[in-house]
Amino acid sequence: MSTFPVTRLRRLRRTESLRSLVRETRLSLDEFVLPLFVAPEPEPNAELPAMSRLSLDDLVTEADELAALGVRAVILFGIPEEKDEEGSGAYDDDGIVQRALRALRERAPRLLLLTDVCLCEYTSHGHCGLVRDGEVDNDETLELLARTAVSHVEAGADAVCPSDMMDGRVGAIREALPQTPIVAYSAKYASAFYGPFREAAGSAPAFGDRRGYQLDAANVREALRECELDLAEGADVLMVKPALPNLDVIRAVRERFDAPLAAYNVSGEYAMVKAAAAKGFLDERQAALESLTAIRRAGADFVLSYWTKDLARWL
């Protein structure tokens, strides 16, 4: 039987102060990581400002602004001057990310520095591993991923984030780096929502696609198996990517595992809201806050998002 009129749930929705008092999910800058793209030359992006490429000088200036805003963490993606079949710029001690890490470590010692560990931005063919006879060679790629992670840590990274989706890559990195936190892109789906990122990072594959190593968007049980394997290999944090199309996966991972869980609010999600707001179809701030709250509500402990800098101002 209904308990109305004794029970009236609207009572606690009447004012903003009441709504805030009983709010179940809250957003804090402590829970957000800002992706940054560093390149030899800057390349602004007026429509998607968070997808701009920053030079090393620009990156240092950006770090000062982020510190003033209270942003706590960033993840670095690098665009090298030259690419080759082996993706050698990824593990070059004088590579673009390695130089960026040294510059940031000196300028912003309190900023948490995460790095993306993958070969796709550095290979001439744009795939996430070495290509042999037209196929990505899983096992031969592992050594280079581990070398990349080691070079990042030696340059100042606090944590490394393998995003390549090669089988066994967490174990290879863990063996090389026993003490370093690994944030594993464990449930990374082959997705249409990566388009703006691939443009910013210059990482679109020159042939084929990545469905042979990234997850099928129809599968959740497989995602849970990937998470289980990554934890067994030594991952400290699991990640689901993209976030919004996979809120059910975030919830499933949260319910199955006790490990910290991240979610990547990817470029396509950011771009869709930006485009709709530019047309006047919705309010960007409200749509962004609602989206980020949904990701946290689904179970993510922290979120990688291009709105992190905006969120610092909004909060």
**What span, in angstroms and rounded, lies between the C-alpha atoms of 247 and 238?**
14
Q: What is residue 258's predicted lDDT score, i.e. its pLDDT? A: 97
309 counts as catalytic? no
pLDDT (mean) for 277-287: 98
Q: What is residue 202's predicted lDDT score, i.e. its pLDDT? A: 81
- The single residue of 83, 188, 274, 309 carrying the catalytic annotation is 188
- Which range of residues forms the domain containing residue 164? 25-314
Task: Tell me how many domains the chain contains.
Answer: 1
Q: What is residue 114's predicted lDDT score, i.e. its pLDDT? A: 98
pLDDT over 80 at 215, yes or no: yes
Is residue 174 in a domain? yes
305: three-class secondary structure by DSSP? strand
Per residue in 53-94, pLDDT (tens digit) is 999 999 999 999 999 999 999 999 999 999 999 999 999 999
Own/partner pairs for 44-51, CB < 8 Å, 24+ apart? 45/200, 47/274, 47/275, 47/278, 48/196, 48/200, 48/267, 48/270, 48/271, 48/274, 48/306, 50/270, 50/306, 50/307, 50/309, 51/196, 51/197, 51/199, 51/200, 51/267, 51/270, 51/306
- The single residue of 241, 274, 279, 309 carrying the catalytic annotation is 241
Two tokens, residue 288: 């962004």
14 — pLDDT class (breaks 50, 70, 90):
very high
Residues with Cβ within 8 Å of residue 249, at least 6 apart in sequence: 187, 220, 223, 240
Residue type, 275: A
83 counts as catalytic? no
Q: Is 156 left (phi over 0), alpha (psi -120 to 50) or beta?
A: left
**What span, in angstroms and rounded, lies between the C-alpha atoms of 128 and 164?**
5
Per residue in 146-167, pLDDT (tens digit) is 999 999 999 999 999 999 999 9
Query: Residue 181, preceding bond cis, omega within 30 degrees?
Result: no
208 — pLDDT class (breaks 50, 70, 90):
confident
Is residue 180 in a domain? yes
Q: What is residue 222's predicted lDDT score, i.e. its pLDDT? A: 98
Q: Name the H helices within the chain.
A: 16-21, 56-69, 96-107, 138-155, 169-176, 195-201, 221-233, 247-256, 267-278, 284-298, 308-314
pLDDT over 90 at 1, yes or no: no
Cβ neighbour number for residue 255 with a 10 Å cutoff = 9
Is residue 6 in a domain? no
Q: At what angle do helices 169-176 and 138-155 cross, to 10 degrees?
A: 40
Two tokens, residue 286: 């409200």
Give buried/exposed letters for 33-68 (b at 16+ CB in 10 A, else e): bbbbbbbeeeeeeeebebbbbbbbebbbebbeebee
Residues with Cβ within 8 Å of residue 75, at least 6 apart in sequence: 33, 34, 35, 36, 114, 115, 116, 161, 304
Is residue 5 in a domain? no
pLDDT (mean) for 90-109: 97
CATH of the domain at 99: 3.20.20.70
Which of 59, 87, 61, 66 lies closest to 202 in space, CA to CA? 87
- The angle at the Cα of 288, spanning 187 to 249, to the nearest 5 degrees, equals 20
Two tokens, residue 290: 């609602």
Is residue 303 in a domain? yes
